[in-house]
């Protein structure tokens, strides 16, 4: 039995994949007949990645796990726990984790704990915490954990469709990591709400209450941030100052669309404002006296508050949050991988020497609802941090290697997906020659709904 608690548990490696095809949001605005800038400025989105019927949640996860192990030269036998977070359900019983076992069985690895976790966009974070808890528990056998977050976000025609996307992230979790989760410092807010849900099991499309969804997201952010500060004060009773936006070098958010993240950063600033003593408010927030008596719960849609604090914190957003939005802007909402695509974007936003030692806050949200605010610390050893960042150098070039499809072609592929959802037997019609090297794809579905996958030769 191991007597010592493992130290510095966190991310040893991270891999991200996204679709090889995208639609341009400016062209989609014209195609949909909406005002210019509605998607690009109003939502903050430039491109949206999407999958044809050749890719499903199983193929995405098979691809990202294989690439992480290959790129980082990790033996399958080194993995002792495999957790999957997803809301893209293609089977009501068989887990994605069980499908991933076909990667491990040939290596004689079947003693592999973990299973799927589902709650909208939060499932990946729950899977991550499960993996961390396993390593920090008496159940840990010394091996590493692998966390997989993947989803295909598609919407019916209409105002929500431009907020789609797709992708998967795999994270290798273990001790002595270059990206460490701050122990004892995470705060959660869970509540019953019908803001976004998928009650129709025959369809990939969700039911969405847009206004309620924004309210739920912002209220969860308020509650989590407040509780995080309380926990920090309890752990650090002699700290000279309490938690504020100044405490972090970067703040990352679950990103349904980029504009909401800019508003969310300003929301945290509003929280800071309300917690600031009257004597300091005048100095730190000149001209903001009119907001002093407001209550958080009354201001979710207060445009005056929103505009004032977005303006006040514009520079903070540009330096601490915007660098994390590259993938969200270029690919769209990945659902469970969303906040972790933000982490990847941040890790490739500058040289490791500029990021080393940074303290990063993250907010994960899943409708229904579940949310957590937590923080990580990047190693101050540049060489150690490079073991992660250097293996992400392919991300930006891959974004430019994607194939752009017209809105008409995109719409046709979405109709094919919708029409053949759960079809059996079924042979997909999507092209395989446009897929990235190393991509698993759906070859066929037989009359018993059993899925067969093949793989494009890898370049790793």
Q: Which residue numbers are catalytic?
A: 87, 121, 254
* CA 172 to chain centroid: 15
C-alpha distances in Å from residue 343, one per residue of 89, 182, 198, 272 = 25, 15, 27, 24
Residue 18 contacts residue 185 (beta carbons within 8 Å): no
Tokens of 19: 């679709």
Q: DSSP labels for 292-351?
A: TT--GGG-TT-HHHHHHHHHHTHHHHHHHTGGGGHHHHHH---STTHHHHHHHHHHTSS-
SS3 call for 231: helix
Q: How crowded is residue 303: how many other Cβ atoms within 10 Å of its Cβ?
A: 8
How far apart are alpha carbons 168 and 416 in whole angstroms?
22
Using alpha carbons, select from 341, 371, 359 the residue that is nearest to residue 182: 359
SS3 call for 237: coil
Mode of pairing for the β-strands spanning 440-445 and 451-455: antiparallel
User: What phi and psi, each to the nearest 5 degrees, are found at residue 395?
Assistant: -65, -55
Mode of pairing for the β-strands spanning 196-197 and 207-208: antiparallel
Q: What are the residue ranges of helices labelled H in 93-144? A: 96-104, 123-135
How far apart are alpha carbons 306 and 268 in whole angstroms?
11
Using alpha carbons, select from 213, 252, 23 the residue that is nearest to residue 120: 213
For the chain, counts of helices (H) and of strands (E): 15, 16
Using alpha carbons, select from 312, 226, 298 the residue that is nearest to residue 265: 312
Using alpha carbons, select from 84, 27, 17 the residue that is nearest to residue 51: 17
SS3 track for 390-441: HHHCCHHHHHHHCEEECHHHHHHHHHHHHHCCCCCCECCCCCCCCCCCCCEE
């Amino acid at each position: 039995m191991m007597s010592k608690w493992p130290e510095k548990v966190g991310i040893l490696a991270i891999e991200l994949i996204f679709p090889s095809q995208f639609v341009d949001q400016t062209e989609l605005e014209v195609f949909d007949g909406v005002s210019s800038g509605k998607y690009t400025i109003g939502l903050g989105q430039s491109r949206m990645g999407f999958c044809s019927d050749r890719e499903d949640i199983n193929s995405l996860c098979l691809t990202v796990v294989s690439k992480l192990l290959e790129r980082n030269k990790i033996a399958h036998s080194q993995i002792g726990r495999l957790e999957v977070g997803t809301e893209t359900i293609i089977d009501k019983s068989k887990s994605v984790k069980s499908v991933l076992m076909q990667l491990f069985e040939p290596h004689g690895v079947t003693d592999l704990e973990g299973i799927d976790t589902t709650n909208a966009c939060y499932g990946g974070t729950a899977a991550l915490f499960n993996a961390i808890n396993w390593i920090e528990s008496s159940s840990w056998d010394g091996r590493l954990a692998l966390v997989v977050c993947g989803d295909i976000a598609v919407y019916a025609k209409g105002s929500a469709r431009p907020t789609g996307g797709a992708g998967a992230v795999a994270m290798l979790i273990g001790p002595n990591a270059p990206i460490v989760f701050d122990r004892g410092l995470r705060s959660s807010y869970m509540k019953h709400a019908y803001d976004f849900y998928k009650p129709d099991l025959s369809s990939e499309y969700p039911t969405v209450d847009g206004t309620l969804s924004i309210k739920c997201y912002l209220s969860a952010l308020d509650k989590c941030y407040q509780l995080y500060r309380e926990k920090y004060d309890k752990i650090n009773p002699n700290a000279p100052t309490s938690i504020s936006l100044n405490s972090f070098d970067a703040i990352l958010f679950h990103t349904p669309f980029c504009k909401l993240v800019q508003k969310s950063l300003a929301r945290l600033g509003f929280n800071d404002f309300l917690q600031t003593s009257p004597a300091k408010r005048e100095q730190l927030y000149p001209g903001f006296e009119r907001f002093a008596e407001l209550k958080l719960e009354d201001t979710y849609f207060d445009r005056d508050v929103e505009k004032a604090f977005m303006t006040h914190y514009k520079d903070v957003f540009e330096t601490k949050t915007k660098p994390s939005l590259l993938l969200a802007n270029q690919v769209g909402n990945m659902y469970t991988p969303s906040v972790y695509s933000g982490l990847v974007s941040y890790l490739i936003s500058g040289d490791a020497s500029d990021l080393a030692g940074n303290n990063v806050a993250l907010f994960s949200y899943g409708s229904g609802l579940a949310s957590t605010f937590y923080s990580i610390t990047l190693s101050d050893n540049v060489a150690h941090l490079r073991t992660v960042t250097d293996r992400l150098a392919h991300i930006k070039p891959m974004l430019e290697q994607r194939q752009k499809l017209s809105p008409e072609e995109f719409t046709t592929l979405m109709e094919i997906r919708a029409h053949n959802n759960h079809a059996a037997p079924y042979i997909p019609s999507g092209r395989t020659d446009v897929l990235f090297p190393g991509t698993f794809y759906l070859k066929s579905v037989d009359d018993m709904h059993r899925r067969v996958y093949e793989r494009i030769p890898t370049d790793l």
